[in-house]
A and B are shown apart, each in its own frame.
Chain A
Amino acid sequence: MLRNTTTRTLAMMALSVPAILGLAGVAEAQDKFKLGMAVGGNTCCEWMKSQGDVARALAEKEGWDYVELSNNNDPATALKNAQIFVQEGVDAVIQFNGQPSSNPAISAVMKQAGVPIVTYDIADPGMYFVGIDNLAAGIAGGEGLGAIVKEKWACNPDLVISAEGAAAGIVNEWRTGGMRTGLKNVCPDIPAEKWVSFESQGDAAVGLPAARDLLAAHPDAKKIAVVGLNDGGVLALINAAEQLGRADEVIGWGQDGAFITGDNVNPHLAGSVFYFLEGYAVYAIKDVIKPIAEGKEVPLKADAGDPASKVQPCPVTAEQAKAVPDMAERVKQLLAAPAGTTEYELFCPNKG
């Protein structure tokens, strides 16, 4: 009898060890802050993948759990991802949604679940806005180009071409329109008939045929200034001009800094505006996510004009950009820097 009782007690104790360990593990997992990250998932842009890589590395440094999903540049997928994040029990979400039509629905899902969400660059009333002032970035780029157009052509170009990316919606209007405004700030007397546009889709290869067609439709234009949504769109026009034998007097100024670093920079790309998009997680974590993880109340700032965290634009000439490392190196240095250090602080040659 005694032997049976002892055996039973020992068996109970043996069984309880893994149960206690398991419960402790669950409790620890429940205590651990969990960050969800929805990357843009558009194959156009290397920085979209890097945004996830940086967020993951910073979350790991903080000791948080991290879940990453891709929006596949598709609004329906972005909404589905929001629902998955809720099911996964994340404590906060960061997203870049390049197809923002689903943002109101995502906002509603997150609000109902009580999960705060940060949106990069494209504002939504229910989300913390972290990003660039796109209009200011556009104007800064336009003024940079304007300085060159003024010096080289006495503000008298034959044509000013806008490489639009209509799918980006308001961001395209801010950036491309902002560049036109910036150019007009320096060269106010360029006649209206000299301003033309083409749809570049923000992609050098995809926008190329349309760029060639536009140049063919303006066969007499020699001095051509190019602005656009991003470096890719501007490059579409520059490449087209090279192919039609008209590159001698083309000057482009892009946005996003994607093609202005490294040793393969097109000589007609005179400048760009860095946002250091891959490093946005530094801003989001420093100003929104970490305070939330620490149990602090973070007021919802959803407006691009009064953001939860503001990214500084960094306009650079091609010459200045030579001092800026390529994206892989920037990410490496960013992750090695003290917590909270931004890429603007590390790499912008023109910081104020």
Chain B
Amino acid sequence: MSFNQAIETAPPAVPLTVRFGGWGTGLMLLAVWLLLIAATSLYRPDFFSHQTVLAVTFTMAVVGVLAIGQGIVAMSGGFIDLSQPANMILASLVAVRLSEAGMPLAVVIVGAILAGMLWGAFNAAIIVFGKLNPVIVTLATNFIGLAALFLVFQLAEVPIGSEIYHFGRASFLGLPAIFWPMLALVLVVGFLVPRTRYGRRMIAVGGNRAAAKARGISLKATRFATFMAAGGFVGFAAVLFAATAGPFNPGSANTLQLNIIAGVILAGISLAGGRGNFWMLLLSVGFLSTIPTSLVFFGLSSDTQSIFQGFILVIAVAIDGWRARRATP
């Protein structure tokens, strides 16, 4: 057994509850979510309906997959990837063009994921080789990407009647077909990250770069792989987006960003890296996706959700800071 293998199979140096956020976050999120559902159902009993479940789960699907990508970047210590909107629109455009060419859904999905990974590699190359701050780099590449996309197209839409179009409107076991891949991905990623070599490396780099380097983990390779993997998730989210969004333009994904970041932080995935549990994304994204629906049932316009999102983001960041301070010896 090499030194590297020995390190990677060794038990974690910090308590599991600290490294993976613990179930306290989950219980708190579940309680708040149930409270929201109960309050809305009391006010409007018809809130508890299949239509509401559909509305919430449709919203969860795209946001959930994007949150996995954002969570990976955060956990690896990359803070946040602000270029997700440009990446998603690029990959959505690839999905549209492939479906316009009559390609089967599998090819469309692979094409979009590859486009997303390519974008991730672009970000990673600048960050890793330029040794630049990921937040600033992804902010800049988002601007560059959106402007470049606007030069290429103004509107795109999957062909009505195509495979991807029907996928976006199909249901399975009473829930949207696009919801199930999101659920599967969250469960699989949440299972694999703390149990695989790559996952543990990612957590180690995010938790303590110096210690990870001392263990012989390549920071460059890990970060490169992280951004590429995150880009791949954005690419898959783009398939779900293109399948459901109808006509979209280069700016159509900009409004998703806040919700995704809030979802990641609420799930207990630390922006400082090295800590979090992907399974919690189901609760945080579910909760955040229920808020606008509840607002409409309370008679408020769904665009007031930005106010609630803003407050929730502030609270989530405060909780994240408190957790980080508590975890610091």
Contacts and interface: CB of A to CB of B under 8 A. Distances in A.
A235 B155 CA distance: 14
B54 A213 contact: no
A79 to B, nearest CB: 21
The listed residue with most B CB atoms (<10 A of its CB), out of A44, A197, A209, A244, is A209
Contacts of B160: 264-267
Contacts of A201: 303
Interface string A31-57: 000000000001111100100000000
B301 A235 contact: no
Interface residues of B, number: 40
A219 to B, nearest CB: 4
Interface string A206-227: 1011101111110100000000
A213 B302 contact: yes
A208 B51 contact: no
A271 interface: no
A317 B61 CA distance: 35
B49 A44 contact: no
B54 A208 contact: no
A239 B51 contact: no
Nearest to B53: A216
B65 to A, nearest CB: 15
B154 A243 contact: no
Contact of A209 (B59, B146, B155, B246): B59
Interface residues of A, number: 40
A34 B295 CA distance: 52
A59 interface: no
A259 B302 contact: no
Given A216-B49, A217-B297, A243-B168, A199 B247 contact: no
Contacts of B55: 209, 212-213, 215-216, 244
B287 interface: no
A205 B146 contact: no
B179 to A, nearest CB: 11
Interface string B182-205: 000000000000000000000000
Given A210-B302, A243-B244, A244-B54, 7 more contacts: A198-B296, A198-B302, A205-B241, A214-B302, A216-B54, A217-B297, A266-B246
Nearest to B178: A243
